[in-house]
Amino acid sequence: MVIKVQVKLLSVMLIIIMFFSTSCVTVREIDELNFIMATAFEYEPKTGLYIITVQVPKTVPKGEQPMGPQWMIYQAKGKSLFEAIRNLGKESPRRMYFGHCDIYIIGDEFAKKGIKSLLDFLQRDGETRVSTSHFLLAREPINKLLAISDGQEALPALSLEKLVEVVLKTNSQSPKVTVRDYLKDYMKEASYSVLPLVGTSTPDMEKKEEVTTKFIVSGSGVFKRDKLIGYLRPLESRGYLWAVGKLKAAIIVGTVTNKDKEVKVSYEIVSAESKVEPVIQGEELQVNIKVKATSHLGELDGNLNVDDPKNITQLEKVLNELIKKEVRMAVSKTQELRADVFDVGEKLHKFHPEVWKQVKGDWENVFANITFNIQVESSVIRTGRITELQGGSNE
Amino acid sequence: MNNFTSITSRQFVMGWITKTIAIVIMLTIADTIKYSGRDTWLAVLVGAVIAVFSLLIIYRLVSQFPNKNLAQWSREAFGSFLGSVITIIYIILFFSYAVLATNQYSQIMTGVFVPEDPRISYHVILIVPAVYAAVLGVYVIYRLNEILLPIAALISVAVIGLNYASIDFTNFLPVMEQGVKPVINGGLIIGSRFSFVAIMFVLYPLIIHPKKIITQGFMGLFALVILIQLQVLAIAMFGAQYTSTMQFSFLEIARNIGVSDALSRLDSFILTMWITGIFVFVSIFLYGASVLTMDLLKLKNYSYFTVFFGFAVVVINLFLKDNVSLIKHFMGLPLAYAVLSVSLLLPLLMLMFVSVKKGISS
């Protein structure tokens, strides 16, 4: 009897739930969506309009091949960023879907004006993924950037996404920054961020028709809160990466002396770590930057016996100075920009809150005059498959 | 008492953990962070102290009336009128919990995941099975919870474990920069959610070996504090200022997972855990409100009241404002004061009254 009642109750319950779970109201089929893979934002100071450009893959019925490139570009303008985004729908019969967009490129004018509206949208919207999306700063017009096809991947957006990763892992001269990373910096009391710069590069060849324009990621832009305030050149950018411990790999070229002859050396940095520490010396605030780097010997242009420990010590000393020079370049440039990209203010806030209270009102000026003590400890742990290549023009 | 109408003290404590986590995980923790900032971990400890008092006071009170629930003993202890009023207060409290939890569920579903969906569909989808489970009896809900809670706890730990690389404990520094007030305010909010233990007023006569409640309650509280502190780790990942802007910080932790390209977008795990918890929460409080009403009216069957309360939850939610910020504001300090006055202050007054009365009569 009890079981019969329970079965009836269960049946009624399931029937009621069925009516409310049909998904008819908000059904979204995959062939009704445009999956945005890359988005670029720009601002027109003359008109006060925001411009949004998106790249979406072409979708065709199973078994058919798309005509021409496998991607399409949509562009729209609006009085606000959100209006521009919704205006994309005027041209697209499919609803724009941001859930898979992993590349966000910011135009130069928009960056100078301030990207707060973009940060707000990316966090507020339910579809966007801030932890996996890359943030990049354009050093060329947005229209040119998203329209190039480098032939490496089916979609330029995928190519660009891989490039950001590969650049960091092969020869770091730009940081990799997700939207989440930027937002974390944005919310700090001393808020400064560094974004990678993306542009295009065309090889200098005689037959222009055989040349493909490609993306290039090198150098970076410096932001104060949400506004672009300056740029770091590639080596300054690398100096910044050394200091904040984000450098993954690098090729550094220096010169050592052997038997009164100069030998050009290419070091391959395979790992690095660092520590930025504000210290109070008497009444003066100083910052210690300690960098540790591990390298392999990549190339010797000259003669040097790498079996001799003295030579290895000399190689390491030279590398120390080269790294120190790059960090010094980054420090000088950021002090000139008055941009505390090394999180010194945040560290003061955490570990010396009483000092931070005194200086935070005038932090930019304080930061610009801080003494940085840079210490580098590097090691050359591999010298490759040969010891010394005898002979040649350097003999 | 057969095994299908009663629960063990362990099951009771596990139910307490699930109810609290289900409510804290989405909105409460974000609200607490707003008040306490990077000192939220201290606020959780303050909340735990409030929970200890709540647990001890309510246990001490109900243990004086074994085999009876609040509706049965309150008239005996405080007289017919006052006893009925107190019972009605708790019926309203438990019913309000069911309304608010259902509202919170539909707000989050339509606010974050499916904005175009009509909210009523989520009310119905949650309430119908919750009413069904409550009609089947308390054992069904707690037995179900016994299976679901370890899975939910495991998911919580896994979500944090997969974010290990993003954790920076220095984000908790400096400690108490704004003084002790933010910690106390946050502690009151968290403490008020711990006091869902007030369901003991209904369930005490159904608990086998009720003397174990205190020992197991403390163990449960310890587990609860650990599980909530895992959610506070959002501050260690994102920093206090950034976390305080998030509506649903634990969801952001899940969205932050990115172990290679294969292991990411794990929001569904968090949702599974949370929806399960909300279901258990609503079932238990619908059961509590129905049983108290049945005994207040001296009837034999509570299931009609469960169906009525379920229907009422859906109807009331239709009229509640569709605004997550408004609900969040109410669920902050105002709700904390209201809940603490009913689940800490009122039981304390009742305990004092009962103790004095007993002392005089003896």
Residue A45, helix vs strand vs coil: coil
Percentage of residues in chain B having pLDDT higher than 90: 52
Q: Has residue A148 been placed in a domain? A: yes
A227, A269: one domain: no
Q: What residue numbers bound the domain in which B307 lies?
A: 7-354
Q: How many domains does chain A have?
A: 2
Per this entry, what is the length of chain B?
362
Neighbours of B184 (CB within 10 A): 15
How confident is the model over A93-151, as pLDDT tens digits? Answer: 888 999 889 899 999 999 999 999 999 999 888 788 888 889 999 988 887 788 777 77
A221, A271: one domain: no
Query: Which pLDDT does position B2 carry in this prediction?
Result: 42
What is the CA A32 to chain-centroid distance, rounded? 32
CA distance B132 to chain A (A): 7
A154, A37: one domain: yes
Whether ipTM exceeds 0.85: no
Q: Has residue B313 been placed in a domain? A: yes
Q: Has residue B361 been placed in a domain? A: no
Q: For A6, which residue in chain B has the nearest alpha carbon? A: B136
A222, A256: one domain: no
Q: How many domains does chain B have?
A: 1
Among the partner-chain residues B174, B242, B245, the one whose CB lies closest to the CB of A353 is B174
Q: Has residue B203 been placed in a domain? A: yes
Query: Which pLDDT does position A202 carry in this prediction?
Result: 77
The Cα A380–Cα B1 span in angstroms is 77
Which residues of chain B are within 8 Å of residue A350 when distances are taken between CB atoms? 170-171, 173-174
The three-point CA angle B218-B234-A292 to 5° equals: 120
Q: Has residue B268 been placed in a domain? A: yes
Q: What residue numbers bound the domain in which A146 lies?
A: 31-59+68-203+212-231
Q: Has residue A355 been placed in a domain? A: yes
pLDDT tens digits in sequence order for chain A, 395 residues long = 666 777 777 777 777 777 766 666 667 778 888 999 999 999 999 999 999 999 999 877 777 777 778 888 999 999 999 999 999 989 888 889 998 898 999 999 999 999 999 999 998 887 888 888 899 999 888 877 887 777 778 888 888 888 888 887 887 888 999 999 999 999 988 899 999 999 888 777 766 666 677 888 889 999 999 999 999 999 999 999 999 999 988 999 999 888 888 889 999 999 999 999 999 988 889 999 999 999 999 888 888 888 888 889 999 999 999 999 999 999 999 999 999 999 999 999 999 999 999 999 999 999 999 999 999 999 998 888 877 777 666 55
Which residues of chain A are within 8 Å of residue B129 when distances are taken between CB atoms? 13, 17
Query: Which pLDDT does position B4 carry in this prediction?
Result: 57
Among the partner-chain residues B128, B170, B265, the one whose CB lies closest to the CB of A17 is B128
Q: Has residue A172 been placed in a domain? A: yes
Q: Has residue B251 been placed in a domain? A: yes
A286, A184: one domain: no
A194, A248: one domain: no
CA distance B300 to chain A (A): 16
Among the partner-chain residues B170, B177, B258, the one whose CB lies closest to the CB of A353 is B177
> What's the token pair of residue A72?
């399409």
Task: Find out whether B159 and B255 touch, Cβ atoms under 8 Å.
Answer: no
A:B CB pairs within 8 Å: 66
Among the partner-chain residues B173, B241, B256, the one whose CB lies closest to the CB of A351 is B173
The Cα A298–Cα A280 span in angstroms is 40
Which residues of chain B are within 8 Å of residue A186 when distances are taken between CB atoms? 242
CA distance B41 to chain A (A): 16
Question: Which residue out of B128, B248, B265 would a mutagenesis test of the A interface target, given it has the greatest number of A Cβ atoms within 10 Å?
Answer: B128
- Rounding to the nearest 10 degrees, give the CA dihedral for residues B252, B254, B256, B259: 180
Q: Does B275 touch chain A (CB under 8 A)?
A: no
> What's the token pair of residue B42?
């201290």
A123, A98: one domain: yes
Which of these, B136, B159, B161, lies nearest to B274 by C-alpha position? B159
CATH for A323: 3.30.300.210
Q: Has residue B2 been placed in a domain? A: no
CATH for B48: 1.20.1740.10
A52, A162: one domain: yes
A259, A159: one domain: no
Q: Has residue B33 been placed in a domain? A: yes
Contacts of B243 (CB under 8 A, 6+ apart): B30, B33, B234, B235, B237, B249, B252
Residue A132, helix vs strand vs coil: coil
A227, A255: one domain: no
